[in-house]
Chain A
Amino acid sequence: MSRLSAQVRTELQLVARNGEQLLLTLGIPVMLLVFFSLVDVLPTGTDDPIDFLAPGVLALAVMSTAMVSLGIGTGFERAYQVLKRLGATPLGRGNLIAAKIVAVVAVELAQFAVLVPIAVVLGWSPPSPNWLLAAVAVVVGTVAFAGIGLTMAGRLRGEVNLAAQNGLYLVLLLLGGMIIPFDELPAPLRTFARVLPSGALADVLRDALADAGSRPGTSWIVLAAWAVVTPPVARALFRFEGHR
């Protein structure tokens, strides 16, 4: 078995055994999708709430995995000296990062394999979805969110990182246009929300899958900017040794 394969296997084992991460990456998106599709209380502005919710929840799933799950997991690995110990093996940083990317993509595929059929069962039937464009959006969004998650994981102490990642997740969930439309936010907050990566990813996914983005051009620029800026920031700030 190659070193990369060994590391990927370990990364996936850890995700599969971590109940909190499964709740975050799969449980919460499924619950939000099902609940708000069946209980029509959100001002989605669509005939059927699932038309607004499905792309938004897919964006939420990407954020959950690429930012929060990756960030919390990496933060604890740093705090428990796992990264330091791996640094004294022949694995190498390149293979470690590659393994994490493979694990994130694998989890995202699993999320989509669960969420898309559930959305379809709940009545989601976009007329001409552009899945290729959606895949590009997911890749760019993954890079952007991973950069944010790893920046925090590489700098903050383990427990502080945990709290910060969860707090940011909640803020981006509420402000991000994922389950609440931008237009329902107060004007100053709306402007702020539109430059967040969460809102941008939800908007470009909505545009790609249902041709219903509010400002897809701007959202693509915002999302790409986050994807360009955050990985170098993470690289510059990341410290492999950490403390609990």
Chain B
Amino acid sequence: MSAVVVDGLTVRYGDLVAVHEVSFRAEHGEVTAVLGPNGAGKTSTIEVCEGYRRASAGSVRVLGMVPADHQRQLSERMGVMLQEGGVYPSARVRDAVRHYCDLYGRGVDPDALVGAVGLAERSSTTWRRLSGGEKQRLSLALALACRPDVAFLDEPTSGVDVLGRDTIRAIVRDLAAGGCAVVLATHELDEAERLADRVVIFDRGEVIADGTLDELRHGHDEIRFRSAPGLDLESLATATGLTASAVGPDEYLVRAAADPQVVSRLSGWLGDHGHPLTDLRAGAQRLEDVFRRLTAAAADGSRSDSTGDGDGSGAAGSDADEASR
């Protein structure tokens, strides 16, 4: 049974529809990234899953329970990391962790938990004196105090430095490896790309794609390279058959399979014309590009819908369907 089942969820605030008929699942032992720009409906959806608010329509089940009706029972097995705050400003790190370990009563050692999130040397520091990244790590520690079977982490690496991110990523991977269903709400695509097994992309209150990274990237290979500014792209196309476009002053993009022969033709043309090859990346699209493609397609779809030109299916729908398949 899936740890989280969201089925046709709609969340309304008065007349505003924040989330519209959203459906997705999160499985035990996997990291599911819920992606989307600010205001896309991620937090509203997660808050229904956490039991903070009720669904206006549709249903949500977490560990088989309706969160708003069984928040107390669910809370014993559910780790929650809020986007910000959640800790008494004058509480010391160790005291806050011990407090939550005692509230959950699952036998978690507070000192070990403080050490696991890399805050052992700050254990007697109050929350208000911690850096932004340290606050995030403390908040993560509180989410782990219940040995969660499901964990909802809202922007866990926001404002965290490089080393802190490594610590958080390792903890999230360990959580999933231990069978926990981790649901990660973030707008940091790089973070999702590094951690997620499955990605759910929100845009304007709707899910526009849902699938594994491979599924979302499928059929969208590309070659990115850096060379001299102002390359003669027509000459490149004539000589190699590769259609390139400039995506930066000295950065170019070729929509083509990451085939060694294609790369060889490209590098050969550059070499023949005396141009440098300062960077080369070939393979599946980055999640950032997938995201841009899907959200742009969704925007196009809604525009054509609104002007009456579209047929209602929309490119976004196609991509989302493709990803789901």
**Nearest CB of chain B from residue A243's CB, rounded to whole Å:** 10
Contact call A80/B100, Cβ cutoff below 8 A: no
Contact call B87/A88, Cβ cutoff below 8 A: no
CB nearest to A88 among chain B residues: B80
New A-B contacts (7) at CB < 8 Å, excluding given A3-B103, A7-B103: A3-B102, A5-B102, A77-B88, A84-B85, A88-B51, A90-B72, A90-B76
Contact call A81/B99, Cβ cutoff below 8 A: no
State whether A10 and B91 are in contact (beta carbons under 8 Å apart), knowing that A81-B86, A88-B71 are contacts in the complex: yes
Bound CA span A109–B68, Å = 39
CB-CB < 8 A to A85: which residues of B? 80, 82, 85-87, 142
Bound CA span A114–B75, Å = 41
Contact call B85/A81, Cβ cutoff below 8 A: yes
Please classify how large the interface on chain A is, using the bins under 10, 10 to 19, 20 to 34, 35 or more: 20 to 34
Q: Which residues of chain B in 176-190 are interfacial with respect to chain A, using CB atoms and an 8 Å cutoff?
A: none
Contact call B82/A10, Cβ cutoff below 8 A: no
**Nearest CB of chain B from residue A98's CB, rounded to whole Å:** 14
* A82 CB within 8 Å of chain B: yes
* B174 CB within 8 Å of chain A: no
Q: Which residues of A contact B (CB under 8 A)?
A: 1, 3, 5-7, 9-10, 13-14, 17-18, 76-77, 79-82, 84-92, 241
* B24 CB within 8 Å of chain A: no
**Nearest CB of chain A from residue B258's CB, rounded to whole Å:** 44
**Nearest CB of chain B from residue A241's CB, rounded to whole Å:** 8
CB-CB < 8 A to B91: which residues of A? 10, 13-14
Bound CA span A234–B142, Å = 29
Contact call B85/A80, Cβ cutoff below 8 A: yes
CB-CB < 8 A to B3: which residues of A? none
* B50 CB within 8 Å of chain A: yes
**Nearest CB of chain A from residue B61's CB, rounded to whole Å:** 17
Contact call A80/B89, Cβ cutoff below 8 A: yes
Chain B 74-107: CB-based contact to A (< 8 A → 1; otherwise 0): 0110101010111111110001000110111100
Chain A interface SS verdict (over half): helix
Bound CA span A80–B126, Å = 14
Bound CA span A86–B82, Å = 11
CB nearest to A10 among chain B residues: B99
State whether A92 and B84 are in contact (beta carbons under 8 Å apart), knowing that A6-B102, A10-B95 are contacts in the complex: no
Contact call B88/A80, Cβ cutoff below 8 A: yes
CB-CB < 8 A to B85: which residues of A? 79-82, 84-85
Bound CA span A14–B100, Å = 15
CB-CB < 8 A to A7: which residues of B? 99, 103
Contact call B80/A92, Cβ cutoff below 8 A: no
State whether A82 and B52 are in contact (beta carbons under 8 Å apart), knowing that A1-B102, A89-B75 are contacts in the complex: no
Bound CA span A5–B99, Å = 10
Contact call A81/B84, Cβ cutoff below 8 A: yes
**Nearest CB of chain A from residue B80's CB, rounded to whole Å:** 4
CB-CB < 8 A to B146: which residues of A? 89
Bound CA span A91–B76, Å = 10
CB nearest to A80 among chain B residues: B85
State whether A10 and B88 are in contact (beta carbons under 8 Å apart), knowing that A88-B50, A88-B78, A89-B75 are contacts in the complex: yes
Chain B 112-144: CB-based contact to A (< 8 A → 1; otherwise 0): 000000000000000000000000000000100
Contact call B75/A88, Cβ cutoff below 8 A: yes
* A5, A10, A18, A77 pick with most chain B CB within 10 angstroms: A10
Candidates B86, B89, B90, B142; contact of A84 at CB < 8 Å? B86
Bound CA span A77–B86, Å = 8
CB-CB < 8 A to B90: which residues of A? 14, 17-18
CB-CB < 8 A to A89: which residues of B? 75, 100, 103-104, 146
